Structure formats: C-alpha cells, structure tokens
Amino acid sequence: MARHAKLVSSTDGDESERQVSNEVHSTLGQRVYHELAEQILSGQLLPNTDLSLRTLAVSLNTSMQPIREAVSRLVGASALELAPGRSIRVPVLTRNEADEIWSLRLLLEGEAAARFAARNKPDEARKLTKYTKALRSVRFGVDLVETMRALMTWNISLVRGADSPILTDMASRLFLRYAPFLAQALSREMPQDRNFLQFTIHMQEELILAIQQGDAAAARHLRCADLRSFQRYVYARYGW
C-alpha cells in the first residue's frame, strides 16, 4: 500500500513538472511570437527577407522550441512562409493579393469604425488622438520603423475599439500580412508626399470626431475613404 502511494506521488510529480514545463514553453512562445510580430508590423522585416530558426533563437535569446511555436503561428497567419532549405521567408504580395487584402480591409475596418462609433464611448475615441500626434511628429517614411509603428498602432487601436474579438483577430492577421508590403513601399527611394500625409491626418481627425459623436455611418465612410486614398498612394509608389 505504501509502495502504491509512492508510485502515485511520483506520477503526480512528473505530471506537475510537465505542466510547469508546458506553461514555461507557452509563455516563452507567446513572448517570441509578440516580438516577431512586432518586427513584422514595424517594418523591420521586409518582403523576401530570409530567416533561420537558429538565427532567430540567438537574436531573441531563447531556445528553438518557442521559436518553432511562434514561427508556426506566423506561417499559419501567412505572415511568414516556409522556403527551400528549411528557412523562413517574409512573403511578397502579388498585385492580386494586395487588391484582395485591401478589399477585406475596407469591409473589416469600415465595420470596426462603425461599431466603435455605435458603442458611444467618446473617451475611448479621444485616445486615438495621441496616435495621430505621433504621425505628425515622425519623419514620414524616412524614419521607417517609427512611421510603421505609428500607422499600425492607429490601425490596431481603431479595430480594438469595435470591442469584437473575432473582428480584431481577422484584422490583425491582415495587418501582419500586408505590413511588410507597406513598409517596402514607404522605404522606396522616392519623395514622400507631405500633402498626402496631411490629408491622411485630417481624415483621421474627422474619423475620431465621428466616433466621438456616435455617427456610425460617417465613421464607416471616413475609414473606407481613408483606406482607398492610402491604397492609391501605396500602389503609386510601386508603380501600379
């Protein structure tokens, strides 16, 4: 009877150790995922950039297992792709893929803006102004990482204002997919259009006002108009 009790205790101990180990790996995997996602969203990884699991493990100061978990999630979101030679690559968007992504952005982010306004939370809407101020303060496209962080933080904050986890998840996947494409366009060696930037900021300010006033129809219209103008600007930098 005593020996049986000892065996149960040992088994329970092993199970407890496995649970702790799994939780540690899960926590590390989450951290690595967020760090890699932040590099993608901030334009640090441009299309066609090749990566290796080992290099990522060294740069992020972690073991291979959390790297594999994070990369697997990002591959599943189409933010990374598997390349020959067991390497990982940041995908290149074709014109058709870019068109489809922008069409989906119009649907999702237009809906997010409308839902944000319908929630009637003016205090939350006012918080968006700090991200608009951040765009004013950066050298647009010149300081690429700061520009991308300001743009993507605005986008993500707007979508989260809809208070819809499903919508946020869908939009976040699109952000990861198109961020390198956008960063590459902004980093091209051609002048930035300051008038366009001022127009974009003006549209954002009008959108914030519509959300504060609870005008869902105006919020949807303004977000879609802003996205269409940004699409034309980005495509022009690609020569499309």
Same domain, 209 and 112: yes
Same domain, 99 and 85: no
Same domain, 233 and 175: yes
Nearest to 40 by CA among 96, 101, 81: 81
Per the CB < 8 A criterion, the answer to whether 218 and 210 are in contact is: yes
**Domain-ending residue, one of 89, 107, 136:** 89
**Phi, psi torsion values for 88, nearest 5 degrees:** -120, 145
Tens-digit pLDDT string for the chain (240 aa): 444 444 434 445 444 344 433 444 558 878 899 999 999 999 999 999 999 999 999 988 888 888 999 999 999 999 999 887 778 999 999 999 999 999 999 999 999 999 999 999 999 999 999 888 888 888 887 899 999 999 999 999 999 999 999 999 999 999 999 999 999 999 998 888 888 888 999 999 999 999 999 999 999 999 999 999 999 999 999 999
Same domain, 118 and 70: no
3-state secondary structure of 87: strand
Same domain, 232 and 119: yes
- What domain range includes position 58? 2-89
Handedness of CA 117, 108, 150, 188 (dihedral sign): negative
Same domain, 223 and 141: yes
Same domain, 224 and 115: yes
Same domain, 152 and 42: no
- CATH number of the domain residue 19 falls in: 1.10.10.10
Helix residue ranges per DSSP H, the chain? 2-41, 53-59, 64-76, 95-118, 122-126, 129-137, 144-160, 165-187, 194-212, 216-238
| Average per-residue pLDDT for the chain | 88
Handedness of CA 221, 224, 227, 228 (dihedral sign): negative
Same domain, 10 and 42: yes
Same domain, 80 and 158: no
- CATH number of the domain residue 185 falls in: 1.20.120.530
Q: CB count, 10 Å around CB of 47?
A: 13
Same domain, 151 and 115: yes
**Domain-ending residue, one of 89, 121, 137:** 89
The answer for residues whose C-beta is within 8 angstroms of residue 213's C-beta and 6 or more apart is: 117, 122
Same domain, 192 and 104: yes
Number of domains in the chain: 2
Q: Quick one: pLDDT at residue 26? A: 58
Tell me whether residue 235 is exposed, middle or buried, using C-beta atoms within 10 angstroms of its C-beta: 0 to 12, 13 to 18, 19 or more.
middle
**Domain-ending residue, one of 66, 89, 112:** 89
pLDDT per residue as tens digits for the range 161-192: 999 999 999 999 999 999 999 999 999 988 88
